[in-house]
Amino acid sequence: MFFGLVLFVGLYAVLSGAIIRQLEDERFTYRENFVWAVFQIQRQLFIIQRDIEAAFGRAGLDDQAVEDIMLEYEIMVSRVFLLRDGEGFRVLFSVPEVAASIDALQNRIDEVDIALENAPDPRSKLQELYRLLEPMGEPLQQAVVRTTNFVSVYNAQNIQTVKRNIEFLTYLFFVGVVAMAVLGAFMIRQRQRVFAADIAAQKARQEQEVIEEAADYAKLHALGTLAGGVAHEINTPAQYIQNNLEFLSDSFSGLVDAVRRQQADPTAKVDFDQSKIDFLVQEVPLAIDESIQGLERIAEIVRGIRKFAHPANDAIELISIPEEIETAVTLTRNQVKHVADLDVHIQSDVTEVNGRRNHLSQALINLIVNASQAIKETGQRRGRIDLTVTSDDDNVFIRLRDNGSGVPEDLRDRIFDYFFTTKERGVGTGQGLPICRKLIQDDFGGDLTLSEDYVDGAEFVIRLPKINPSYNAHSQNDAMQGPSDLGALLR
C-alpha cells in the first residue's frame, strides 16, 4: 500500500509537470497574434500605396519622400520574412489562403527588387513599386479573413484541450487526496489492530497467569477439602496395622515366656496348649498379611497425593488416563464412599493422550466431588456415580454420570462462568468447573461439556483428542494393568 502511494505521487508529479509545460507552451502560442501579423503586412502595403500616391500628387518629388517610401517598403519586407520564417507562425501556414498569399507576396517582392534595380530614376522606382504591389491588396485581405477564422477555431480547440487537462489534473488531485485518506485510514486501522493485538496478547498472558494461579489455588483447595477424608483413609489402615502389631507383640511375648531352658545343654521346648498353637498358626499370618495390605494402602494414598500435589511442568507429554483416574479415585474415596458407589469402566484401548500431568486428575477430582455433593443434597440413602471411558476414531471420551439433583435448565448456560456457584458461601468458589474446562481446552486441546440429553442427574463429558498412533504404541499393556479393577478399589 505504501509503495502504491509512492507510485501514485510520482505519477501525479510527472503528469502535473507535463500539463504545466503544455500550458506554458500554449500561453506563448496565444501571445502570438496571427491576425495581427498578417494585418500588419496588409497595413504596411496600404501605407506604401498611400505615400506613393501622396508623393505623385505633390508639385515635386523630393528625395526625402522617396527614402521614406523605400523605408516603409523595407519594413513590409521584414514583416513578410518574419512571418515566413518565425518559429511561432509555422502553424499559420496550415491555412492554404495564408500560405498562398505569403508565397505570392514573396515572389512579388523578388520582382520588385529586380524592377527597382533597373529603374533609371526615383519616379520610375515608385511607379514600378506601386504597379507591382497593387494586385496584392485583395489576396492579403483574404488572408486576414482566413487567419481570423483560423485563430478563432484554433483558440477554441486549445481552450478545450486545456480545459480537459485542467479537469484531468483536478480529478487526479482529488483521487490522490482520497487515496491518501484511504491509506491514512488503513494505516491507522493497522496500527489500531497491532495495538489491539498487543493488548489482547497482554490480556491473554495476564488471563493465563490468573488461570494458572487459580488452578494452583483450586488444587490446594481440593487438597484442603479432601484432607480430612485422606487423613481418615490413612488412619484406617494405620489403625489395624497397629492392632495387628500389638497382637503380634503379645503373641511373641507369650511365645518367649513359653520357652524354658532347664539344663546347660537342654533343648528348648514350648509349654503351650495345642489349641493356642493352632490359634497362633492361623492368626499370625493373617495379621502379617493385613499389616502388609495396610502399608500398601497407605503407600497408595501417599502416591496419589504426591502425584496430585507435585507441581506440573509446562511440557506436553504422554499422560496415562488410567493413572489419572486412579489418582482422582484414591483422593476422593473417603468423600464418596459414604454417599455413593463409584464404578469405573474403561471401554477403550486408547489409554494415553498428550497433555500436562495432574490436570486431568484435577478435573476429575472436581467432577467427582461435585457429583457426591449433588447426590448428598438429594437426601437419598445411597447414590451412584459412573465413570466410563470410550473412544471413537478421533477422540477419547470420559463420561462422569451421577443420579444427584442435576443442573436446572436455567443454569446450564452459566455453570462454566467464572465465580458463578449455586453452593452456599464457604462451600463453592465458582471457579472449579471454569478452571477444569480451561485446563482441558488449553492443556489437552479437548473440551469439557454438560450433556443436554441426560435427565437422571448430570453427565459431564471430557473430550480428549487422540494422539498420533506412533506415540501411543508403547506401554499400553502396562497402562491397562489394574484400571479394569478400579471398581474393586472403591469398595
In a domain, 196, yes or no: no
* Residue 337 lies inside a defined structural domain of this protein: yes
For 7, the grid coordinates are 507510485
Q: Is residue 277 part of a domain?
A: no
Tell me phi and psi for residue 393, to 5 degrees. -70, -25
* Predicted local confidence at residue 397, as pLDDT: 94
DSSP bridge partners of 319: 353
Q: Is the pLDDT of residue 464 over 90?
A: yes
Residue 221 lies in a domain: no
Mean pLDDT across 374-382? 84
* Domain identity same for 174 and 319: no
- Vertex 46 angle, CA 40 and 51, to 5°: 125
- With residues binned 3-state (H G I as helix, E B as strand, rest as coil), the percentages for the chain, rounded to 5, are 70, 10, 20
At 256, list the grid cell. 518367649
- Residue 54, burial from CB neighbour count under 10 angstroms (0-12, 13-18, 19+): exposed
Helix and strand counts by DSSP (H, E) for the chain:
12, 9
Single residue among 141, 160, 183 that ends a domain in this structure = 183
288 Cβ partners below 8 Å, 6+ apart? 244, 248
Average pLDDT, integer, range 114-128: 86
Q: What is the largest CA-CA distance in the chain?
A: 203
CATH of the domain at 350: 3.30.565.10
Q: For the residues 216-235, what does the mean pLDDT come to? A: 62
Q: Minimum mean pLDDT among 150-154, 264-268, 372-376: which range?
A: 264-268
Give CA–CA dist 347/324, Å, rounded.
Answer: 16
- Decide which of 123, 154, 183 is a domain's last residue: 183
Q: 446 by DSSP, 3-state: which?
A: coil
| pLDDT for position 471 | 45
Mean confidence (pLDDT) of the chain? 76
Q: Which helix (H) or strand (E) holds 344?
A: strand 340-346
How far apart are alpha carbons 369 and 164 in whole angstroms? 84
Beta bridge partners of 24: none
Q: What is the pLDDT of residues 56-84, one digit of tens each?
A: 876 667 778 888 888 998 998 898 888 88
345: in domain: yes
Q: What is the per-residue DSSP string for 27-53? A: HHHHHS-HHHHHHHHHHHHHHHHHHHH
DSSP string, 68-120: HHHHHHHHHHHHHHHHHH-GGGGGGGGSHHHHHHHHHHHHHHHHHHHHHHH-S
Average pLDDT, integer, range 334-346: 88
Q: 318 with 179, same domain? A: no
pLDDT of residue 325 exceeding 80: yes
CA distance 216 to 233: 24
What total of structural domains would you count in the chain? 2
Prediction pTM value: 0.45
Considering the domain architecture, whether residues 328 and 472 belong to the same structural domain is answered as yes
Q: Please, which contacts does 39-43 make with residues 24 or more away whose CB atoms are closer than 8 Å? A: 39/144, 40/79, 41/76, 41/79, 41/80, 41/83, 41/105, 41/140, 42/137, 42/140, 42/141, 42/143, 42/144
Q: Does residue 411 lie in a domain region?
A: yes
Is residue 12 included in any domain, yes or no?
yes
- Please give the Cα distance from 210 to 328 (Å, whole number): 24
State which of 183, 205, 234 marks the end of a domain. 183
pLDDT in tens, 208-222: 776 666 666 666 665
Q: Strand pairing partners for 402?
A: 385, 458
Q: What is the 3-state secondary structure (H, E, C) of 225-238?
A: HHHHHHHHHHHHHH
Instruction: Tell me the pLDDT band of 140, cut-offs 50, 70 and 90.
Output: confident
Contact 203, 29 (CB under 8 A): no
In a domain, 390, yes or no: yes
- For residue 41, the enclosing domain spans 2-183
